[in-house]
């Protein structure tokens, strides 16, 4: 009986389920402490995000950058480094892709989209490299540097969007639309779900093979 229980708790699917359940429980406790009803909140959460075509599409759209970010954090974690800088790195990555989409014109989509993606990956990687450099050369803890770099990245992008990158006559701070040739194609009609979700899932599959199936 004991061996069966040990094999059960070691199932690969169990860890993410425990993580999700723990997050829901902690969230419910925090809502109770704030005087809110967690059952009502979770009901609205699942209804709005999954029960309609628009809600499901919006969930997939917002899931895409979060999935890419989590994959980057996972790689660092498997290397024994606690990368808390996912937020800052995705902000800088978004900045890099936006700059290519705004200021590089006249390219066909087959070139413009990969170029924008490469710029995004490059900007994010350089932001992460700063932490790696400080850890390797100066011995500065990566948790501290990544956390501080998050604030710098968020405020830098906020400044750019409110000033030099702000769309003319925009009622609120946002950049102009990037060139059509730099936009990922929409894969669900009447939604904002683009091909980025497919790329993120492919990246997750490749990373799973590298980290799990290729272990000696």
Check whether 11 has a pLDDT greater than 90: no
Chain center to CA of 208 = 17
Non-local CB neighbours of 185 within 8 Å, separated by 6+ positions? 194, 195
- Residue range 123-133: average pLDDT? 94
- Residue range 101-123: average pLDDT? 96
- Residue range 104-131: average pLDDT? 95
Check whether 70 has a pLDDT greater than 70: yes
What is the pTM (predicted TM-score) of this model? Answer: 0.82
Three-class secondary structure of residue 160 per DSSP: helix
Check whether 25 has a pLDDT greater than 90: yes
Check whether 6 has a pLDDT greater than 70: no
Non-local CB neighbours of 156 within 8 Å, separated by 6+ positions? 91, 92, 95
- Of the pLDDT bands very low, low, confident and very high (cuts 50, 70, 90), residue 200 is very high
Q: Which residues are paired to 194 by β-bridges? A: 186
Check whether 214 has a pLDDT greater than 80: no
What percentage of the chain has pLDDT greater than the value 70?
93
| Cβ atoms within 10 Å, residue 53 | 11
| CA–CA gap between residue 108 and residue 114 (Å, rounded) | 10
Could you give the maximum distance between any two Cα atoms of the chain, in Å?
69
- So what's the pLDDT on residue 4? 53
Q: Which residues are paired to 22 by β-bridges? A: none
Check whether 135 has a pLDDT greater than 70: yes
Question: Phi/psi at 194 (nearest 5 deg)?
Answer: -115, 180
Q: Which residues are paired to 186 by β-bridges? A: 194
- Of the pLDDT bands very low, low, confident and very high (cuts 50, 70, 90), residue 42 is very high
- So what's the pLDDT on residue 95? 96
Mean pLDDT over the full length of the chain? 89
Question: Which has more confidence, 2 or 198?
Answer: 198
187-194 contacts: CB < 8 A, separation 24 or more? Answer: 188/57, 188/60, 190/53, 190/54, 191/53, 191/54, 191/57, 191/58, 191/61, 192/57, 192/58, 192/61, 193/57, 193/60, 193/61, 194/61, 194/64
- So what's the pLDDT on residue 79? 81
Q: Give start and end residues of each alpha helix (H) in the chain.
A: 2-9, 14-33, 38-50, 53-78, 86-103, 109-133, 142-162, 196-208
Contact in structure between 113 and 182 (CB atoms under 8 Å): yes
């Amino acid at each position: 009986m004991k061996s069966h229980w040990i094999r059960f708790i070691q199932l690969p699917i169990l860890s993410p389920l425990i993580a999700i359940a723990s997050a829901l429980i902690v969230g419910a406790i925090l809502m109770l402490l704030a005087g809110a009803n967690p059952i009502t909140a979770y009901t609205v959460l699942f209804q709005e995000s999954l029960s309609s075509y628009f809600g499901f599409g919006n969930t997939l759209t917002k899931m895409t950058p979060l999935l890419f970010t989590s994959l980057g954090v996972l790689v660092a974690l498997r290397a024994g480094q606690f990368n808390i800088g996912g937020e800052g790195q995705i902000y800088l990555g978004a900045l890099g892709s936006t700059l290519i989409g705004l200021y590089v014109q006249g390219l066909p989509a087959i070139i413009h989209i990969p170029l924008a993606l490469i710029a995004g990956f490059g900007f994010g990687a350089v932001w992460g490299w700063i932490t790696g450099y400080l850890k390797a050369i100066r011995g500065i803890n990566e948790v501290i540097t990544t956390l501080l770099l998050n604030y710098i990245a968020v405020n830098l992008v906020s400044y750019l969007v409110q000033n030099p990158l702000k769309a003319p006559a925009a009622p609120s701070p946002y950049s102009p639309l990037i060139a059509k040739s730099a936009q990922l194609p929409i894969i669900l009609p009447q939604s904002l779900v683009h091909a980025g979700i497919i790329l993120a899932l492919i990246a997750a599959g490749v990373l799973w093979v590298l980290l799990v199936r290729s272990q000696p």
